[in-house]
Amino acid sequence: MAKSTSSSERRLLVDKYLTELSLLAKQLCPGARVEATMEGFEDGDGHVRIYPPAGVREKEIEEIEGKIADRCVDILLGEGVFICSAVYD
């Protein structure tokens, strides 16, 4: 059975994973602008929006999207934290 967490513990957990995903995005695309928010939308706990600099190739964008999405799935399955991510070009 899953451990019950308080709302403040939940916020800390969501913040931890938003930070992790933001750092991963910057590692994958150092010139990108990254926005991470705890906006609630449907069942989501947060959002990570990645804006790569002009000139980034489509293949690189797809690679960033894939790696970030994979980590989001790992977080969802492991911790039950649902973070949506998107790369905007």
pLDDT in tens, 23-36: 999 999 999 999 99
Asked if pLDDT for residue 40 goes beyond 60, the answer is yes
Any domain includes 37: yes
Any domain includes 2: no
Any domain includes 40: yes
Residue 64: predicted pLDDT: 97
Any domain includes 36: yes
Amino acid at site 22: S
Any domain includes 21: yes
H or E element that contains 36: strand 33-37
CA 33: distance to chain centroid?
Answer: 13
Enumerate helices (H) and strands (E) in the chain, giving the number of each: 2, 3
Q: Quote the domain boundaries for residue 70.
A: 7-87
CATH number at residue 70: 3.30.70
Which among 36, 65, 56 is positioned nearest to 48, based on CA atoms? 36
Amino acid at site 51: Y
With cut-offs at 50, 70 and 90, classify the pLDDT of residue 1. Answer: very low
With cut-offs at 50, 70 and 90, classify the pLDDT of residue 4. Answer: low
E strands of the chain, at which residues?
A: 33-37, 46-51, 83-87
Amino acid at site 89: D
Any domain includes 1: no
Any domain includes 22: yes
Total domains present in the chain: 1
